[in-house]
Chain A
Amino acid sequence: MNRMDNMIKLEFLSLSKNESFARAAAAAFIAPLDPTIEELADVRTAVSEAVTNAVIHGYRNGLGTVLMELTLAGRLLTVRVEDKGCGIEDIELAMKPFYTTGNRAERSGMGFAVMAAFMDKLKVESKLGVGTTVIMEKLIAQPNEPEQNG
């Protein structure tokens, strides 16, 4: 088993109001590492995108459960967001910037592009009718040590 310093698992209903809960939980999870404001914002945004995808695309705004697992190994954060929704037919196409399935609400089609840009690694696994799992990694940099006097 790979080294693991901390891990939490959260399971919640696929309600859009849980997006803010998920990103707040992720921010709290990495807070002890003293991340920069930018690192915190990047993680919050990427988590929000992954959970939003599960809610509106995975379950198509129907009700299901979303599983979010956060793992820390040293300063490496791994975020895993899993749904048991409809799945993605063509992952490569879905990950193209501005691609959207074109439902009625205005969607930017930028979700996966944001996850890829704000995290270090992004992997998407999906099977039609079974569900989708998004796995993202980000290395939280060491905080700058204060200068020693004398």
Chain B
Amino acid sequence: MARIDGELDQHCAGELRSAIDTAVKSEGNVKTLLLDLGRVSFMDSSGIGVILGRYKLMRKLGGELAIANAQPSVEKLLKLSGVYALLDAKRREKANE
């Protein structure tokens, strides 16, 4: 699980991306990467880029991505950008297997 704190914008996106990827790769055999957004007080579309990038990474590694505890303003952005729809579709795809 990765718990993210503070404001997620373009300025910190690169650093966050590297930290998560390093942790996932060093842990090895991660099946589900859970991003806890409960303490993210602000996020713009740079954050969506980070989430979509981690989604692609987990698919490449044969695992999945999950998101939890998004605050209403972050939730609005996740819905608008189709991130929830993407994660739900993947979940349904797995359930039908």
Mark A residues whose CB is within 8 Å of B. Answer: 16-17, 19-20, 23, 37-38, 41-42, 44-45, 48-49, 52, 55-56, 105-111, 113-114, 117
Is chain B's binding surface mostly helix, strand, loop or mixed? helix
| Known contacts A105-B14, A106-B49, A106-B52; is-contact A113 B80 (Cβ 8 Å) | yes
| Interface contacts beyond A42-B73, A56-B10, A105-B49: sample of 7 additional A-B pairs, CB < 8 Å, sorted by A | A16-B9, A19-B11, A20-B7, A105-B13, A106-B13, A107-B46, A111-B45
27 sampled A-B residue pairs with Cβ under 8 A: A16-B10, A16-B11, A17-B11, A19-B10, A20-B7, A20-B9, A37-B72, A41-B72, A41-B73, A45-B42, A49-B44, A52-B9, A52-B10, A105-B13, A105-B49, A106-B52, A106-B53, A107-B49, A108-B45, A108-B48, A108-B52, A109-B45, A110-B45, A110-B80, A113-B81, A114-B44, A114-B81
Q: Does B58 contact A (CB under 8 A)?
A: no
Contact of B77 among A16, A23, A45, A105 (CB under 8 A): A45
Cβ of A108 and Cβ of B73 under 8 Å apart? no
Q: Does B50 contact A (CB under 8 A)?
A: yes
Cβ of A45 and Cβ of B44 under 8 Å apart? yes
Cβ of B49 and Cβ of A108 under 8 Å apart? yes
In the complex, how many residues of chain B place their beta carbon closer than 8 angstroms to a beta carbon of chain A? 23
- Report the Cα distance A20→B45, complex, angstroms: 14
- Report the Cα distance A111→B77, complex, angstroms: 11
| Neighbouring B residues of A114 by C-beta, 8 Å | 44-45, 77, 80-81
- Report the Cα distance A42→B80, complex, angstroms: 12
